[in-house]
Amino acid sequence: MALWAGLGQAATVAQLVGVDAGGLISLITQAALTARQNKKACEQLSRRVHMIADLLPHLQEPELMRRPEFQRPLAGLGDTLREAHDLVMVCQRKSRFYRFFMSGRLADKFRDIQTSTSQSHPIHVLEGVARFTLAEIAAASNSYAFFTKVGKGTSGTVYRGRLRDGRDVAIKRISKTAQDREMVLRTELAVVPHPRHSHFVRLLGWCAEEDERLLVTEYMSNGSLHDHLHGRKPPSSPVTASWKTRVEVLLGASRAIKHLHRSFVPSVIHCNIKSSNILLNASWTPRLSDLGFSVRHETGEGEHHYQYQLQVVGKGGYIDPEYCRTGRLTPATDVYSFGVVMLEVLTGRPPVITTRGEEEQGEVQTDLVHFALPLIEAGELDKVLDGRPEPRPTPMQIEALQWVANTAVVCLHRQSILRPRISEVVANLETALRLATG
């Protein structure tokens, strides 16, 4: 307490930390990329300290720095970062004998540092975002009863609940087996401040109590785009039956991605764009969800400046092939994934198509991109269009769908530098919607 008093009522982050936190975090990240041993642990540690780097700019407000819950963890951050850097540097050593004798001790040290980084990461509580107790969450979800379960995602299971004030909510219970579930929770709360934007699912609250980590969001009563395209919703749904509604959903989702890429400094890369993360509210307005794996994009030369990302979460069929080859992450990574979503909307097919091959082959899997792109590029869009929307598309609607298809083609270019910016995608989809409406 004496330290804080000596620094004044509104101590700065630099004063509390006592070191150049940004510089140390950058060194840790670079060292993790070249670690010769304990590479996975180094990468996980790098992700944790990167979360701290993303949060620090939000802690410059004097009002925040007067609060003990922010001062306490930051006061020990300098020592934690120094220890983390020393530990990652040890992992650069090549000696087999050194690795043999030190492996157990290093594993213990990594566990200690992981704990320290969590304790040094104050949760940035957003205005209007409540902290719920575990008892409140259990009451809202009937103790996670089976009948309240509405879905399972990359990092956990989602339940429908009702708060005491009568609001219907979705409760995401982050899996205890999810890799670094603490990172998922804290990213949703801190790394990416939830945008007050009409095309994002609104975060209402959170809970971190005992061994549970939970997020509470508004409930999207019409499910996900994936549900409507791939059979879990009735054929009478507007998304299944109407080309105009499908283009509206794409446009709304693209505007959400544009908001992440263009309205934050530094910009935000979602890293997990897919049709199951595009949700639909009661009025069929699309809302982008699952910001738990988003990252800040380092500033650089334009939209296609890249950074190394140690892990991007996603499913087969959505992941940028350039990222798979190089480990480089740019906003164009999201653009590629969204190109796959556009193909899903056009074809009604999932990102990975499973067909039955010859008897000895069994089931054969093909990426939607490899199936649809050659036909679209050959001018045979009609051969891939979903046949469910009725009536058959008018000439104006065909032109609109061609705009969508042509945009998808350029989004799916294997070289990220040749893909359009998301703002160009939005403009093309606005044109497509005008045509589909006419």
CB 124 within 8 A of CB 58: yes
Q: Give the Cβ contact number of residue 74 at 10 Å.
A: 25
Give me the domains of the chain, ranges plus CATH numbers: 2-119 (no CATH), 130-218 (3.30.200.20), 225-437 (1.10.510.10)
What pTM value is reported for the model?
0.74
pLDDT value of position 51: 60
Q: Which two tokens stand for residue 57?
A: 């700019």
Contacts of 370 (CB under 8 A, 6+ apart): none
pLDDT value of position 119: 47
- Alpha carbon distance 390, 27 (integer Å): 57
Residue located via tokens 């990092």 = 155
Q: CA 310: distance to chain centroid?
A: 14
- Alpha carbon distance 121, 72 (integer Å): 10
Strand extents, DSSP E, 278-402 = 278-280, 286-288, 295-296, 307-308, 328-329, 352-356, 363-367
Q: CA 134: distance to chain centroid?
A: 25
Residue located via tokens 């794409």 = 250
One-letter identity of residue 101: F
pLDDT value of position 185: 74
Contacts of 251 (CB under 8 A, 6+ apart): 426, 429, 430, 432, 433
- Alpha carbon distance 88, 34 (integer Å): 9
Sign of CA dihedral 402, 407, 413, 418: positive
Annotated ligand binding at 244? The verdict is: no
Strand 156-162 to strand 168-174: parallel, antiparallel, or no bridges (unpaired)? antiparallel
- Alpha carbon distance 320, 78 (integer Å): 36
Strand 130-131 to strand 203-209: parallel, antiparallel, or no bridges (unpaired)? parallel
Q: Give the Cβ contact number of residue 218 at 10 Å.
A: 18
Q: What is the DSSP letter of 200?
A: B
> How confident is the chain (438 residues) per 10-residue block, as mean pLDDT?
37 53 69 67 66 58 54 61 70 54 47 50 59 94 90 86 95 77 69 64 88 92 94 82 97 96 85 94 94 72 46 71 85 96 97 75 84 96 94 93 98 96 98 94
pLDDT value of position 101: 40
- Alpha carbon distance 300, 209 (integer Å): 39
- Alpha carbon distance 100, 243 (integer Å): 61
CB 293 within 8 A of CB 272: yes
Using CA atoms in the order 206, 171, 158, 224, what is the torsion angle rounded to 10 degrees? -100
CA R_g for the chain: 24
Q: Comparing C-alpha atoms, which of 128, 88, 154, 190 is closest to residue 314? A: 154
pLDDT value of position 137: 95
Q: Comparing C-alpha atoms, which of 319, 372, 316 is closest to residue 344? A: 372
- Alpha carbon distance 216, 171 (integer Å): 5
CB 176 within 8 A of CB 211: yes
Strand 295-296 to strand 307-308: parallel, antiparallel, or no bridges (unpaired)? unpaired
The H-or-E segment that residue 268 falls in is strand 268-269
